[in-house]
Amino acid sequence: MLDAHSLYRFFRAGDEETLALQGVSLRLERGELVALVGPSGSGKSTLMSCLAGIDEPDGGTVRLGGQRLSHRSEPVRAKMRAEKIGLLFQSANLFQHLTVRGNVLLAQRLARGPHQPPPVDDLLGSLGIGARSRAYPGELSGGETARAGLAVALANRPAVLLADEPTGELDDTTERQVLQLLSDLTANGVAVLVASHSPAVAAAAHRVITLTDGAVTR
């Protein structure tokens, strides 16, 4: 589903050069839940951005459903991302002035994918926040915020979900619930990659990829 081959990414600030990714290859199959672990600064977020086509690798290739995503124009990457990828980050992807339902509708309007998007009420119901559909993000608990963020990420039925530390600010019980929702997605064939420090995420994953200093070490 998602295939990264030999990704390199450098950052230069003055005389200082950071090798954030040093030849990372990975493959994500349909229905897999994969944990991406590694210490802070090991390149997890940089890798996620390259896989999502938000950032461009300096070397290497990202393929999504057999099509090259890297080294394409921004509009092409944006379109592929909209059609195939859901993004979930710790700082939730919610607009504060829109309700939960408004946020999901906006995501559906902005990114028209190849499939009919799921009805908002069904999506929110399946994530257990149907009752909060008219609430604003500022009125949500941590767990509700995570579920609402997931609803936005899933607004267009993505084939791949990329989640960067999605449970970083959640208590253990809520984290377990969010992990259950992520693993439910895999039963429907979605490929899920979760960057996280949390042992609970690694334990729930089918497979764990470890990054150290920008390279896959396990």
Query: Quick check: 174 binds Mg ion (CB under 5 A)?
Result: no
Nearer to ligand ADP, 62 or 100 (CB): 62
- The DSSP code sequence of 49-82 is HHHHTSS--SEEEEEETTEE-TTS-HHHHHHHHH
Query: Containing H/E element for 5?
Result: strand 2-13
Window of 4-12, 42-50, 79-87, 205-213 that interacts with Mg ion by CB under 5 A: 42-50
Query: Quick check: 42 binds ligand ADP (CB under 6 A)?
Result: yes
Cβ of residue 198: shortest distance to ligand ADP, in angstroms? 14
Q: How far apart are CA 37 and CA 41, in angstroms?
A: 11
Query: Quick check: 57 binds ligand ADP (CB under 6 A)?
Result: no
Window of 37-45, 97-105, 125-133, 169-177 that interacts with ligand ADP by CB under 6 A: 37-45
Q: How far apart are CA 185 and CA 201, in angstroms?
A: 15
Nearer to ligand ADP, 40 or 96 (CB): 40
Please calculate the CA angle 83-22-203 and round it to the nearest 5 degrees: 65
Residue numbers at the binding site for Mg ion (CB under 5 A): 44-45
